[in-house]
């Protein structure tokens, strides 16, 4: 994503470039805030007051920002927020609570990506002439919706990976014993595996980057095909 933004510097006027960067930052805020808020609200509804006690029961992005995670969003196009602190022992139903909390964030991002895809198509249809004339207002929303699709799908797919400490691992670990070999392996090496997966070792791209190029394109194409039925 950094390469994309840098590539725009010489291609668009300074005002348009600043508009695009702001749209990207705002899309990050929305994707992260809703993801973490979904975790917090679900845990709270399942009986755990911990997220509320730590001030995470909010859509305020500054309550959820992780410095390194935010930097990775700008550099690589995917990153993370501060994990929501929960105490599963407070859940009224332990396994049900763990499953719901694990899935709430990724489902929220998937729904947001779907909504943003519809808004992007609407902007492209209704604002085509304004986009061609470099209308800053329409350009902002076009890029904001486009980034919203990409970043929400990135967060959704990234967190579905069964690697500690991601949501996919927490979901899977709910049904496995603590002394399970896979669980213990992930507790020990999960961060290393993630680091290898996200660092751009391959011609400026990462293992996950190549994976995202196919999966995000496939999912977003399906969304656009759906919304295209109405225009």
Active-site residue among 19, 36, 102, 163? 36
C-alpha 103/C-alpha 54 separation (Å) is 21
Kindly report the average pLDDT of the chain as a whole number.
88
DSSP string, 29-76: HHHHHHHHHHHHHHHHHTT--HHHHTT-SS--GGGT--HHHHHHHHHH
- % residues pLDDT > 70 (the chain): 91
Is the pLDDT assigned to residue 207 strictly greater than 80?
no
- Reported as a pLDDT band with limits 50, 70 and 90, residue 192 is very high
36 given a catalytic annotation: yes
Give me the domain span that covers residue 187.
Answer: 2-228
For the segment 172-191, the average pLDDT, to the nearest whole number, is: 94
Give 15's Cβ-side CA count (13 Å radius).
5
pLDDT at 196: 86
Please provide residue 207's backbone torsions phi and psi, each rounded to the nearest 5 degrees.
Answer: -60, -45
Number of domains in the chain: 1
Q: What is the pLDDT of residues 46-97, one digit of tens each?
A: 999 999 999 999 999 999 988 888 887 777 666 778 889 999 999 999 999 9
Residues 21-36 have a mean pLDDT of: 94
State if pTM tops 0.75: yes
Q: Give per-residue pLDDT as tens, 113-136.
A: 999 999 999 988 887 766 666 778
């Amino acid at each position: 994503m950094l390469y994309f933004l840098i590539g725009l510097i010489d291609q668009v006027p300074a005002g348009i470039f600043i508009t695009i960067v702001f749209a990207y930052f705002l899309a990050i805020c929305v994707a992260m805030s809703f993801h973490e808020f979904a975790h917090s609200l679900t845990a709270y509804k399942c009986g755990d007051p911990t997220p509320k006690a730590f001030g995470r029961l909010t859509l305020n992005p500054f309550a959820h920002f992780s410095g390194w995670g935010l930097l990775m969003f700008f550099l690589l196009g995917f990153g993370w927020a501060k994990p929501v602190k929960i105490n599963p022992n407070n859940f009224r139903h332990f396994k049900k609570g763990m499953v719901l909390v694990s899935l709430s964030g990724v489902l929220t991002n998937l729904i947001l990506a779907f909504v943003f895809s519809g808004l992007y198509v609407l902007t492209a249809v209704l604002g085509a002439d304004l986009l061609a004339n470099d209308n800053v207002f329409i350009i902002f929303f076009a890029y904001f919706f486009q980034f919203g699709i990409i970043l929400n799908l990135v967060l959704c797919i990234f967190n579905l990976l069964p690697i500690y400490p991601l949501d996919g691992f927490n979901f899977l670990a709910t049904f496995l014993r603590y002394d399970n070999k896979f669980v213990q392996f992930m507790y020990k090496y999960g961060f290393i595996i993630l680091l290898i997966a996200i660092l751009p070792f391959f011609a400026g791209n990462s293992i996950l980057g190549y994976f995202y190029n196919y999966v995000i394109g496939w999912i977003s194409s399906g969304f656009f095909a759906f919304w295209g039925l109405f225009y």
